[in-house]
Amino acid sequence: MRSLCVILLFALVSCSTPNQDVQFDGQNALMYVEEQMAFGPRIPGSEESRKTAAWVVEQLESIGWETEIQHFNYRGTALINIIAKSEGVSENRPILIGAHYDTRPYADRDPIYPEAPVPGANDGASGVAVLIELAHALDRDRLRQPIWLVFFDAEDSGNIDGWDWIVGSSFFVDNLSQELEAAVIVDMVGDRDLQLYIEKNSDPDLVQEIWELADQLDYTAFIQTPKYSMIDDHSPFLRIGVPAVDIIDFDYPYWHTIDDTVDKVSADSLEQVGRTLEHWLEIQR
Ligand SMILES: [Zn+2]
């Protein structure tokens, strides 16, 4: 009985707060993974990729984010980065949250079908889903910094037909005309068995802020131990001196196989990452 009273009291207090935060919802994020999967593999330059890019723009503009499309060409293929901006206090430098939306053209780690495309539920769709749900959940008028949500093309075609890795983010950085406060990349963040070890090239101060906040929120997926060194979309930012972090779970058995499908992804994992970033961005920094 006592606990019921406590619950009722809590409910009353909650109801009386008019500006109750919209919180990042993992189920919504999982739905955004499914919507991307419905387009098929998002191979750079393909029709499916263009449709996915249009879908990303539509999602963001429908809730009032201004978007820019960055068109560019790489080895004869037309590529697209998408940039969504919130205003914040304009004299502050923007914080960039990024993910790649492309998928690898060949599942070259698949023992049976190495020439089939990677479906990319975790490697591709999970990061994009986190950014889109963040766009809904962020309390934009409480943000001091402008936030840029950036969707990179062509991260994941490295060593195929002479392509490099991280093509979209490299182009973005090479054409950046504004100084950034920080860049946070999310990649492969949907695994049901999510284990986010610290990526070794990531900026130590940013790592400490984000992993400690996750710990305070009891999000056990974040593990405060360094494990892998990655080439990922954070690398071009580090190259030009922008503090950058790669939030990635590289212990994913279905990586670059045809089994990187939506059943391997969970709403809870997406929510741990999304809510940590939401809190981190909404803290007065
Ligand atoms: Zn990949």
Å from CA of 103 to ligand 1 middle: 7
Contact between 65 and 86 under an 8 Å Cβ cutoff? The reply is yes
Beta bridge partners of 67: 84
Ligand 1 mean position, distance from CA 98 (Å)? 15
pLDDT in tens, 49-86: 999 999 999 999 999 999 999 999 999 999 999 999 99
Question: Alpha carbon of 112 to those of 56, 105, 108, 152, 275: distances in Å?
Answer: 32, 15, 9, 29, 37
Question: Which class is 23-282 in CATH?
Answer: alpha beta
In this structure, are residues 123 and 250 in contact, taking their beta carbons and an 8 Å threshold? no
* pLDDT of res. 221: 98
Question: Which residues contact residue 245 at a Cβ distance below 8 angstroms, ignoring those fewer than 6 apart?
Answer: 182, 183, 184, 185, 199, 202, 203, 206, 207, 210, 234
User: 265 CA to middle of ligand 1, Å?
Assistant: 15
Per-residue pLDDT reduced to its tens digit, 116-154:
999 999 999 999 999 999 999 998 877 888 999 999 999
226 pLDDT higher than 70: yes
Q: Is 90 exposed, middle or buried (0-12, 13-18, 19+ CB in 10 A)?
A: exposed
Residue 12 has pLDDT above 60, yes or no: no
Q: Taking the domains of the chain in order of start, what are their residue ranges?
A: 23-282
Alpha carbon of 169 to ligand 1 centroid (Å): 14
Is the sign of the CA dihedral 205, 209, 212, 218 positive or negative? negative
- The pTM score is 0.92
Check residue 140 and report its DSSP letter: G
pLDDT score of 284: 54
